[in-house]
Amino acid sequence: RDVVGTGPYMIDDYIDGSAAKYIRNPNYWGVNPVGPGKGDKLPYADEVTWQIVPDYSTRLAALRTGQAENSFADILTKEDFETIIESNPEIKYAQMIIDPIQISGRVDLADNPFSKKEVRQAMMLAIDHPSIVADLYGGQAELLDSPARKWYESIYVPMEELPETVQELYGYNPEKAKDLLSQAGYPDGFKMTMVLQNTPAHEEAGSLIKSYFDQVGIDLTLQVVEPTIFTGMWIGREVEDLMLSQFPGGNGALFVRYSFGFFRGPNFFNMSHVNDPVGTDPVIENAYNIQSENVMINYPAADKAFRDTVPYILENAFLIPLPAPYGYRVWQPWLKDYYGEYYPKWWLQYAWVDQELKASLGR
- Chain segment 78-93, per-residue pLDDT in tens: 889 999 999 999 999 9
Please, which pLDDT band fits residue 258 given cuts at 50, 70 and 90?
Answer: confident
Average pLDDT over residues 208-223: 98
Residue 10: per-residue pLDDT: 93
Q: What is the CA angle 88-92-94, rounded to 5? A: 125
Residue 162: per-residue pLDDT: 98
Residue 1: per-residue pLDDT: 65
Average pLDDT over residues 276-291: 95
Residue 343: per-residue pLDDT: 84
Average pLDDT over residues 280-293: 95
Percent pLDDT > 70 in the chain is: 99
Please, which pLDDT band fits residue 155 given cuts at 50, 70 and 90?
Answer: very high
pLDDT at 2 over 80: no
pLDDT at 63 over 90: yes
Residue 235: per-residue pLDDT: 92
Residue 202: per-residue pLDDT: 93
pLDDT at 249 over 70: no
pLDDT at 156 over 70: yes
pLDDT tens-digit readout, 294-345:
999 999 999 999 999 999 999 999 999 999 999 999 999 999 999 999 888 8
Please, which pLDDT band fits residue 7 given cuts at 50, 70 and 90?
Answer: very high
Please, which pLDDT band fits residue 132 given cuts at 50, 70 and 90?
Answer: very high
Secondary structure string (H, E, C) spanning 59-110: HHHHHHCCCCCECCCCCECHHHHHHHHHHCCCCEEEEEECCCCEEECCCCCC
DSSP line for 240-288: SSEEEES-S-GGGHHHHHHH-GGGSSS-TT-TT-TT-STTSSHHHHHHH
pLDDT at 292 over 80: yes
Q: What is the mean pLDDT of the chain?
A: 93
pLDDT at 257 over 90: no
Task: Give the global pTM.
Answer: 0.85
pLDDT at 248 over 70: no
Q: Given the DSSP bridges, would you call strands 324-331 and 92-97 parallel, antiparallel or unpaired?
A: antiparallel
Give residues with Cβ within 8 angstroms of 130, minimum separation 6. 143, 170, 171, 172
Count of Cβ atoms closer than 10 Å to residue 16 Cβ = 7
